[in-house]
């Protein structure tokens, strides 16, 4: 199994913190977001990571090479990072992902590695981590499930009253589903009007074609998505609490 980390974005809502530094290289306590993520990935037995980068890409390359010299790292450049979104970035990882199953991470998520261990060991081959105990605001990717936690919808536009929880931005994708996913993304991104779509749009398209995605409940375990300076402060409280 490989890992894919989407780290191309500008992090505009974090400015000025991200003017001269990629968001994933901001520190929570004494560790960068990226260090926490890579360490967790390695601790769970994954040794090959595909990084999709764009904004201040050389800083990320240099950091990974220096901090994790033994990591099998591949770097994919999204030259259009300023005008595209996560769907476009994920599509670019296709050739490096190959025929492997993978775990996909948004580079602005910090999480207890128990979440990743639980995801890898989960019996479902294609699975989204969801938290049922969060406040579902407009920015949250809200997930509707039915039956045995099978995902029906996953988007920002889902009615919070119908949602089982929030997707945290960490997913396991089977090798079989990966082929379908990349094909769907390529088809979507052939039309420029889809360049601002999130990768969840491709998930939903596959779900409508009866491809199985499941939800894994990670409620109670620590995680934080860092979109804003307020999120950053909250993550500091969660992962670096003051005595």
115-131 confidence digits (pLDDT tens): 999 999 999 999 999 99
Residues near 49 by beta carbon (within 8 Å), at least 6 away in sequence: 2, 3, 4, 5, 38, 41, 71, 72, 73, 74
Total count of domains within the chain: 1
- Could you list the residue range(s) of the whole structural domain that residue 59 is in? 2-239
Nearest to 199 by CA among 224, 119, 207: 207
DSSP structure string for 25-43: GSEETTEEHHHHHHHHHHH
Q: Residue 242 has what pLDDT? A: 63
A 10 A CB-CB count for 214 gives 19
pTM summary value:
0.94
Dihedral angle, C-alpha 34, 40, 114, 2, nearest 10 °:
100
Per-position pLDDT tens, the chain of length 243: 999 999 998 878 888 878 889 999 999 988 999 999 999 999 999 999 999 999 999 999 999 999 999 999 999 999 999 999 999 999 999 998 878 899 999 999 999 999 999 999 999 999 999 999 887 777 788 999 998 899 998 888 888 888 889 999 999 999 999 999 999 999 999 999 999 999 999 999 999 999 999 999 999 999 999 988 989 999 999 987 766
Burial class (CB in 10 A: 0-12, 13-18, 19+), 50: buried
Helix, coil or strand: residue 177: helix
Q: Residue 138 has what pLDDT? A: 76
Tell which phi-psi region holds residue 98, choosing left (phi > 0), alpha (psi between -120 and 50) or beta: left
Q: Residue 243 has what pLDDT? A: 63
Residue 171, domain CATH: 3.90.550.10
A 10 A CB-CB count for 141 gives 25
Instruction: Please give the distance of CA 65 from its chain centroid, rounded to a whole number.
Output: 21
Q: Residue 17 has what pLDDT? A: 78
Token pair for residue 74? 């591949």
Angle 91-198-142 (CA atoms, 0-180°, nearest 5)? 135
* DSSP conformational letter for 89: H
Burial class (CB in 10 A: 0-12, 13-18, 19+), 135: exposed
Nearest to 12 by CA among 3, 4, 22: 22
Q: Residue 29 has what pLDDT? A: 83
**pLDDT, tens only, 44-64:** 999 999 999 999 999 999 999
């Amino acid at each position: 199994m490989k890992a894919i980390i989407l780290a191309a974005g500008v992090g505009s809502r974090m400015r000025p913190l991200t003017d001269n530094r990629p968001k994933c290289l901001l520190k929570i306590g004494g560790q960068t977001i990226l260090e926490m993520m890579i360490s967790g990935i390695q601790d769970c037995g994954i040794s090959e990571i595909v990084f999709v980068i764009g904004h201040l890409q050389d800083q990320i390359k240099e950091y990974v090479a220096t901090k994790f010299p033994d990591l099998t790292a591949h770097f994919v450049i999204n030259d259009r990072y300023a005008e595209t979104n996560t769907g476009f970035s994920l599509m670019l990882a296709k050739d490096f992902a190959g025929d492997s199953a993978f775990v996909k991470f948004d580079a602005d998520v910090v999480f207890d590695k128990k979440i990743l261990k639980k995801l890898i060991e989960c019996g479902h081959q294609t699975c989204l981590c969801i938290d049922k105990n969060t406040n579902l605001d407009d920015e949250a990717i809200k997930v509707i499930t039915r039956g045995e936690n099978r995902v029906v919808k996953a988007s920002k536009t889902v009615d919070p009253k119908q949602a089982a929880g929030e997707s945290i931005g960490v997913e396991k994708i089977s090798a079989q589903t990966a082929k379908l996913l990349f094909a769907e993304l390529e088809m979507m991104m052939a039309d420029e009007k889809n360049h601002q779509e999130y990768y969840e749009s491709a998930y939903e398209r596959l779900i409508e074609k009866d491809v199985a995605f499941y939800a894994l409940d990670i409620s109670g375990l620590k995680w934080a998505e860092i979109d804003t300076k307020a999120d950053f402060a909250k993550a500091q409280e969660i992962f670096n609490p003051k005595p």
